[in-house]
């Protein structure tokens, strides 16, 4: 298992590098750009726009910008203040252009050395921007995934056991409904009912406004987590319950289930102990990638409920075309996807002892 996991991690490195190259290319080719957003105004002169582009290094070819993001700029000279007196080649002589005023190399270390750069708009390190919000996204994502598994799997089992009954029909209709309803519409309806009309739950945010110290522990603000978790987990519950029902129906007709019944075991022990474990094998395919799926659905939910998470930062950085922040969000999402698929393979072996990875 360890060798297999290490081999999969090594194989994922080229995939990850390819994702970063493609993402950087698409991001750079998008219309507009951070320079236009930063210099927007009637009184902005063309030379000011060019100076900002030189300061950010966005007037270089795309491949140079990518290499600088990947490897840093502490080994190359470039025009950090836009005064056009810097040698931006990849060679580091003292004064390559002979003007007598060479600028020192930059201070960025690059992604491979743990430096994600600085945000163009917030003027601070991207790692600081991400670290302030990734906890909120993980909190919401793990809560919704937990709710989806705890509710979806038992509902699927009971629907299979009571096939054709009232419970099966109701859960099927509810699964189709919640899988089809847009997240933003459901979130707004819940805010209107529980936040505006009944006023029993907060309408948004992660916690009550505080002066210092941030939000209190999660057990002291569960009311703020309830609605966004419910909205984000509805799709997970619907998908898991339907797949678990289909998988459980295949297991129910197996010989060992009939044998367990013949031995006089209770229905709960037969379905949940003997049947559910084998029925979980196909579900393992969805459990791993569901982590990345939560990151994909979180921006809408976080925007509706004013949740200060990574999703809102990603949306804002795309609108502003804040390249360093966009790449940080892409890195997190791609790593979550790769790790999710590896976890799916590991779950196969944990659920079914017959599966071995040689």
Is the pLDDT at 94 greater than 50, yes or no? Answer: no
Is the pLDDT at 170 greater than 80, yes or no? Answer: yes
Q: How far apart are CA 251 and CA 276, in angstroms?
A: 8
Q: 17: buried, middle or exposed (CB in 10 Å: 19+, 13-18, 0-12)?
A: exposed
- Mean pLDDT score of the chain: 81
Whole-prediction pTM value? 0.80
Tell me the mean pLDDT in the region 82-88: 50
Q: Which residue do the tokens 């290094």 mark?
A: 57
Q: How far apart are CA 141 and CA 347, in angstroms?
A: 20
pLDDT band at 272 (very low <50, low <70, confident <90, very high): confident
pLDDT band at 174 (very low <50, low <70, confident <90, very high): very high
Tell me the mean pLDDT in the region 320-343: 87
Q: How far apart are CA 143 and CA 104, in angstroms?
A: 48
* Range of lowest pLDDT (148-152, 183-187, 190-194, 206-210): 206-210
CATH fold, domain 126-351, is MetI-like fold (1.10.3720)
CATH 1.10.3720.10 location in the chain: 126-351
Is the pLDDT at 333 greater than 90, yes or no? Answer: no
Residues making up the chain, counted from first to last: 358
Q: What was the pLDDT predicted at 64?
A: 84
Pick the closest to residue 159 from 287, 246, 268, 234 (CA basis).
246
Is the pLDDT at 227 greater than 90, yes or no? Answer: yes
pLDDT band at 112 (very low <50, low <70, confident <90, very high): confident
Tell me the mean pLDDT in the region 333-356: 78
Tell me the mean pLDDT in the region 304-318: 88
Q: Which residue do the tokens 């995934």 mark?
A: 145
Q: Are 206 and 221 in contact (CB under 8 A)?
A: yes
Q: How far apart are CA 66 and CA 126, in angstroms?
A: 16
Q: Can you say how many angstroms the Cα of residue 157 is from the centroid of all Cα atoms in its chain?
A: 29
Q: What was the pLDDT predicted at 32?
A: 76
Tell me the mean pLDDT in the region 228-238: 90
| Six token digits for residue 70 | 């990947």
pLDDT band at 273 (very low <50, low <70, confident <90, very high): confident
Q: How far apart are CA 294 and CA 141, in angstroms?
A: 6
> Who wins on pLDDT, 333 or 79?
333
- State the angle between helix axes of 323-351 and 276-287 in degrees (0 to 180), rounded to the nearest 10: 160
Give the helix/strand (H/E) hosting 285: helix 276-287
Is the pLDDT at 81 greater than 50, yes or no? Answer: yes
Is the pLDDT at 107 greater than 90, yes or no? Answer: no
Q: What was the pLDDT predicted at 226?
A: 93
Q: How far apart are CA 234 and CA 148, in angstroms?
A: 7
Is the pLDDT at 355 greater than 70, yes or no? Answer: no
Q: What was the pLDDT predicted at 134?
A: 86
Q: What was the pLDDT predicted at 104?
A: 59
Q: What was the pLDDT predicted at 96?
A: 38
């Amino acid at each position: 298992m360890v060798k297999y996991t290490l081999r999969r991690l090594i194989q994922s490195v080229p995939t990850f590098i390819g994702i970063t190259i493609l993402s950087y290319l698409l991001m750079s080719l998008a219309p507009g750009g951070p320079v236009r957003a930063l210099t927007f105004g009637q009184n902005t002169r063309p030379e000011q726009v060019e100076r900002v582009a030189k300061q950010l290094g966005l007037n270089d070819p795309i491949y140079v910008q990518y290499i600088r993001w990947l490897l840093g700029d502490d080994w190359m000279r470039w025009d950090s203040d836009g005064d056009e007196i810097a040698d931006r080649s990849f060679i580091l002589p003292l004064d390559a252009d002979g003007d007598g005023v060479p600028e020192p190399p930059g201070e960025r270390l690059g992604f491979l050395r743990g430096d994600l750069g600085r945000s163009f708009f917030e003027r601070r390190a991207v790692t600081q921007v991400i670290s302030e919000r990734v906890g909120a996204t993980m909190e919401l994502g793990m809560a919704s995934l937990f709710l989806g598994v705890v509710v979806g799997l038992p509902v699927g089992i009971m629907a299979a056991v009571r096939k054709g009954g009232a419970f099966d029909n109701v859960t099927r209709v509810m699964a189709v409904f919640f899988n089809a309803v847009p997240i933003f519409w459901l979130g707004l309806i819940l805010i209107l009912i529980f936040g505006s009309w009944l006023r029993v739950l907060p309408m948004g945010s992660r916690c009550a406004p505080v002066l210092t110290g941030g939000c209190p522990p999660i057990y002291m603000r569960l009311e703020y987590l309830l609605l966004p978790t419910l909205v984000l987990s509805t799709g997970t519950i619907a998908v898991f319950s339907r797949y678990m029902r289909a998988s459980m129906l295949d297991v129910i007709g197996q010989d060992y289930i009939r044998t367990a019944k013949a031995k006089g075991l209770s229905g709960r022990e037969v379905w949940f102990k003997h049947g559910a474990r084998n029925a979980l094998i196909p579900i393992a395919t969805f459990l791993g990638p569901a982590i990345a799926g939560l990151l994909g659905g979180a921006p809408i939910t976080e925007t509706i409920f004013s949740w200060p998470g990574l999703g809102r930062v990603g949306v804002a950085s795309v609108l502003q075309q804040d390249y360093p922040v966009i790449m940080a969000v892409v890195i997190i999402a791609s790593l979550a996807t790769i790790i999710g698929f590896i976890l799916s393979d590991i779950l196969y072996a944990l659920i079914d002892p017959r599966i071995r990875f040689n």
